C-alpha cells in the first residue's frame, strides 16, 4: 500500500484503502469532512476529544484540523479533569454521536496545513500534575515518516493491535497516525489484557504487530499460544522501562527482541533498541549533555530551533548510541547525603525475589525511604513460606551491600503489581501516597456477577494484608474471622436491605488455608425469610471455607 501523508488524508477519497476492519479511507474522509462542517457551523475553535475508539478519533482529528480547530487530547475523562480543562475548550466529545451532524454541510476536501494544524497533549511528570504540550501536524508527520522508513518493510501489511490508549503520544503515533498513513489496518479498541491481545491477534487472519506497554508485556505469562503468536511481525514497547529479563523471555518465546522506544510527550521518540543496554537515536536527532550529565537534544519532532533538556542521566558512546543512567530529578538528600533512587531500585531489581519496585520519601518526623515492591514468583514463594519479615530482612541485607544504612527503606508495601497508568507511568506523588497509607485490611472484588439471586465474586488476597501480621510469622494465613467479615462486608455492598445486626454463625467450615496472593471465588446468597447469609470461598476446585451468617433487625 502506498504512503498517504497526513496533510493529504482529506484531499482525495481512496475507496478500498482499509483503515479499520469496518472502515475504509473513503468513508473516513466523508465522515471527517461532515464533522468539519458541523464544527465550522457551530464556530468551535477548541475541541477536546476523549474517544476510546481509534477509528472515531482518526475521523475527529482530521475533521477538526480541516475546520481549523485546535484539538486537545485529555489523559482521562474524570470529572475533575473536565473541570480543570473547561477553560481550554469550547466543546468536549466522548463520542462522535455527541455531535449532531444532521443539518451540517460537509466541507470540501483539501490538504491540511502542517504548520497550522495544532494538537495539545496532556501528560504528567514525576509530580503527577497535569501538563499541556502543544504539537504541530508537521512534528507528528516527521515522526511517523521516520518510523515508516525504519520499520515499514518489516511490518508489511500487518494489522496494528495494542494495549495502549491513543489519547497519549505513543499510542496516537504507533496505533493510529502511522498505520493510517501507511495503509495498515488498526484496531479500534485497545486490548489491555494478554488474553485480549492474543484473541484479536489470532482473529486478524493475517500478519499482526503489537503496540504494547511494559506493564502488559511483563504480564504475558505461560498460558498463551506462543507458537501461534510467533507470527507477530514486531513488538513495540514504550512508556517505561522494560525489564531486561522480560525482553529476553519475549525473545525466546517469539524469536525476536521487542523494539523499545525511548522518548516523552515533550520530545516524541528519541531512540530505540532491540536487546542490550544501548539506545540508537532516531535519524535527525542530535544529542548532548548538560553539566550534570543529563541528556539534551534537538529533533525534527520538536518545534523548529527548539532544544529540549531532559532529567535523564546518560553515557554517550563514540558510535552515537547512549546508555541511560537514571533520572537526576530522583536524586534526594537524607541527612545531607545524596541518594539516587533509581540506583537503589536497580540494586533491588537484581535480587531474584523482586519483579518491580519504586522508592519514595516518607515525611513523618525525620524523612526516610519507603519501598513499593512487587515480588517475583520466587519472592511470592518466599513470602508465603518464610513470611513477610524474612522477605524484607533479606532484601534489606541485599540492598545494604549497595548503600549506606540511611538509604535502606524503613517502610515496605507489597503489591501483586505496581499501579502504572494507561501510559505505563507511575508518578512519584502516587508512589509516596501509597507508601503513606496503612497496610490494607479489606479486599476489593475483581469482578462481581449476580445470577439467580446469588452473587459470584472474584477476589485476590492482598500480599500485604495487615491481618497476616502474627498469623503466622513464617506462614501467613488469612484468619477465619477475616473471611467471615469480608463475606458480610461485601454482601452489604451488593445486596440491598441486608439486616444490620450480626446475630451469630452456623455450620462454619474451614477446609483449606488461604494465603497471600491467592485468587478466590466467593459466592454470596441471602435467604431473607430465614435471615441467613450463605457464603462459600473456593480456590479453583478446592473449597476453602463456608458457613451461614445470621442477621437480624436493629434492636
Torsion of CA 10, 13, 15, 19, to 10 degrees: 0
Confidence of residue 129 (pLDDT cuts 50, 70, 90): low
Range from 117-131, 221-235, 343-357 carrying the lowest mean pLDDT? 117-131
| CA 172 to the chain's CA centroid | 14
Give tens-digit pLDDT for 1-21.
799 999 999 999 999 999 999
Report the share of the chain in percent with pLDDT over 70.
Answer: 99
Average confidence (pLDDT) over 211-236: 93
Fold held by 137-334: Rossmann fold (3.40.50)
Residue 64 or residue 221, greater confidence: 64
Range from 3-7, 149-153, 310-314, 409-413 carrying the lowest mean pLDDT? 310-314
Instruction: Find, among 119, 100, 139, the residue nearest to 46 by Cα.
Output: 119
Residue 212: the pLDDT is 96
How far the first Cα of the chain sits from its last, in Å, is 76
Residue 190 in 3-state DSSP?
A: coil
Confidence of residue 127 (pLDDT cuts 50, 70, 90): very low
Question: 341-436 architecture in CATH?
Answer: 2-Layer Sandwich (3.30)
Average confidence (pLDDT) over 84-100: 93
Q: Compute how many other C-beta atoms are within 10 angstroms of the C-beta atom of residue 509.
A: 11
Provide the pairing of β-strand 519-527 with 411-414.
Answer: unpaired
Cα distances from 96 to residues 43, 79, 100, 218, 502, in angstroms, run 17, 20, 8, 34, 51
Instruction: Find, among 523, 522, 448, 419, the residue nearest to 478 by Cα.
Output: 522
With 80 as the cut, is the pLDDT of residue 508 above it? yes
Residue 261 or residue 343, greater confidence: 261
Based on C-alpha coordinates, what's the Rg of the chain? 27
With 90 as the cut, is the pLDDT of residue 425 above it? no
Residue 9: the pLDDT is 98
Question: Strand order in 259-264's β-sheet?
Answer: 159-162, 208-212, 235-237, 259-264, 268-273, 280-281
**Residues 526 and 534: beta-carbon distance below 8 Å:** yes
Average confidence (pLDDT) over 57-63: 98
Average confidence (pLDDT) over 232-242: 93
What is the overall mean pLDDT for the chain?
Answer: 94
With 90 as the cut, is the pLDDT of residue 281 above it? yes
Task: Tell me if 24-112 shares its fold with 341-436.
Answer: no
In terms of residues, how long is the chain?
Answer: 555
Residue 125: the pLDDT is 53
The CATH code of domain 445-552 reads: 3.10.129.10
Residue 364: the pLDDT is 84
Torsion of CA 171, 174, 178, 183, to 10 degrees: -100
Asked: is 24-112 a CATH 3.40.50.2300 domain? The reply is no
Give tens-digit pLDDT for 215-226.
899 889 888 999
Residue 72: the pLDDT is 97
Confidence of residue 416 (pLDDT cuts 50, 70, 90): very high
Provide the pairing of β-strand 118-124 with 70-73.
Answer: parallel
Confidence of residue 124 (pLDDT cuts 50, 70, 90): low
Taking the CA atoms of 78, 83, 84 and 86 in sequence, report the sign of the dihedral they define: positive
Helix (H) or strand (E) holding 86: none
With 80 as the cut, is the pLDDT of residue 130 above it? no
Give tens-digit pLDDT for 196-206.
999 999 999 77
**Residues 19 and 28: beta-carbon distance below 8 Å:** yes
With 60 as the cut, is the pLDDT of residue 214 above it? yes
Q: Where are the domains of the chain?
A: 24-112, 137-334, 341-436, 445-552
Report the share of the chain in percent with pLDDT over 90.
Answer: 84
Give tens-digit pLDDT for 99-122.
888 788 999 999 999 999 999 999
How many CA atoms lie within 13 Å of 153's alpha carbon, on the beta-carbon side? 2
Give tens-digit pLDDT for 176-186.
999 999 999 99
Amino acid at each position: 500500500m502506498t504512503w498517504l501523508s497526513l496533510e493529504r488524508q482529506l484531499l482525495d477519497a481512496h475507496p478500498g484503502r482499509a483503515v479499520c476492519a469496518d472502515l475504509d479511507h473513503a468513508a473516513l474522509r466523508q465522515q471527517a469532512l461532515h464533522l468539519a462542517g458541523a464544527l465550522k457551523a457551530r464556530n468551535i475553535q477548541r475541541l477536546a476529544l476523549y474517544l476510546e475508539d481509534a477509528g472515531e478519533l482518526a475521523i475527529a482529528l482530521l475533521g477538526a484540523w480541516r475546520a481549523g480547530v485546535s484539538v486537545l487530547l485529555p489523559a482521562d475523562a474524570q470529572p475533575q479533569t473536565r473541570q480543570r480543562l473547561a477553560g481550554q475548550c469550547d466543546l468536549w466529545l466522548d463520542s462522535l454521536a455527541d455531535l449532531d451532524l444532521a443539518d451540517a454541510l460537509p466541507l470540501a476536501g483539501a490538504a491540511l496545513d502542517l504548520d497550522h494544524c495544532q494538537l495539545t497533549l496532556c501528560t504528567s511528570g514525576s509530580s503527577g500534575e497535569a501538563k499541556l504540550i502543544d504539537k504541530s501536524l508537521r512534528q507528528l508527520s516527521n515522526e511517523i515518516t521516520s518510523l515508516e522508513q525504519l520499520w515499514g518493510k518489516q511490518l508489511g501489511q500487518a494489522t496494528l493491535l495494542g494495549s495502549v490508549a491513543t489519547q497519549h503520544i505513543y499510542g496516537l503515533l504507533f496505533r493510529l497516525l502511522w498505520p493510517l498513513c501507511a495503509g495498515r489496518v488498526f484496531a479500534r479498541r485497545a486490548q489491555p489484557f494478554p488474553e485480549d491481545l492474543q484473541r484479536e491477534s489470532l482473529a486478524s487472519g493475517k500478519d499482526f504487530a503489537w503496540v504494547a506497554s511494559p506493564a502488559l508485556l511483563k504480564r504475558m505469562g505461560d498460558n498463551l499460544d506462543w507458537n501461534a503468536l510467533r507470527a507477530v511481525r514486531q513488538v513495540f514497547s514504550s512508556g517505561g522501562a522494560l525489564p531486561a529479563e522480560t525482553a529476553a523471555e519475549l525473545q525466546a518465546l517469539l524469536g525476536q527482541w521487542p523494539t523499545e522506544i525511548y522518548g516523552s510527550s515533550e520530545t516524541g521518540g528519541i531512540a530505540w533498541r532491540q536487546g542490550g543496554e544501548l539506545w540508537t537515536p532516531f535519524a535527525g536527532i542530535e544529542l548532548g549533555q548538560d553539566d550534570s550529565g543529563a541528556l539534551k537534544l534537538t529533533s525534527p519532532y520538536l518545534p523548529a530551533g527548539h532544544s529540549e533538556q531532559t532529567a535523564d542521566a546518560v553515557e554517550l558512546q563514540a558510535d552515537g548510541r547512549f546508555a541511560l543512567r537514571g533520572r537526576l530529578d530522583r536524586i534526594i538528600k537524607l541527612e545531607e547525603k545524596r541518594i539516587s533512587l533509581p540506583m537503589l531500585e536497580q540494586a533491588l531489581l537484581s535480587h531474584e525475589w523482586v519483579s518491580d519496585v519504586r522508592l519514595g520519601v516518607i515525611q513523618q518526623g525525620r524523612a526516610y525511604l519507603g519501598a513499593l515492591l512487587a515480588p517475583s514468583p520466587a519472592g511470592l514463594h518466599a513470602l508465603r513460606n518464610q513470611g513477610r519479615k524474612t522477605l524484607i530482612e533479606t532484601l534489606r541485607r541485599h540492598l545494604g551491600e549497595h548503600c549506606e544504612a540511611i538509604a535502606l527503606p524503613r517502610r515496605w508495601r507489597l503489591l501483586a503489581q505496581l499501579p502504572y497508568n494507561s501510559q505505563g507511568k507511575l508518578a512519584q506523588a502516587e508512589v509516596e501516597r501509597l507508601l503513606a497509607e496503612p497496610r490494607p485490611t479489606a479486599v476489593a472484588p475483581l469482578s462481581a456477577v449476580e445470577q439467580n439471586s446469588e452473587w459470584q465474586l472474584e477476589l485476590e488476597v492482598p500480599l500485604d494484608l495487615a491481618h497476616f501480621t502474627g498469623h503466622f510469622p513464617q506462614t501467613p494465613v488469612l484468619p477465619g474471622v477475616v473471611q467471615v467479615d469480608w463475606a458480610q462486608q461485601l454482601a452489604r455492598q451488593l445486596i440491598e436491605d441486608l439486616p444490620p445486626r450480626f446475630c451469630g454463625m452456623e455450620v462454619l467450615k474451614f477446609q483449606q488455608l488461604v494465603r497471600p496472593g491467592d485468587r478466590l471465588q466467593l459466592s454470596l446468597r441471602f435467604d431473607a425469610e430465614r435471615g441467613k447469609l450463605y457464603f462459600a470461598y473456593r480456590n479453583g476446585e478446592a473449597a476453602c471455607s463456608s458457613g451461614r451468617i445470621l442477621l437480624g433487625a436493629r434492636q
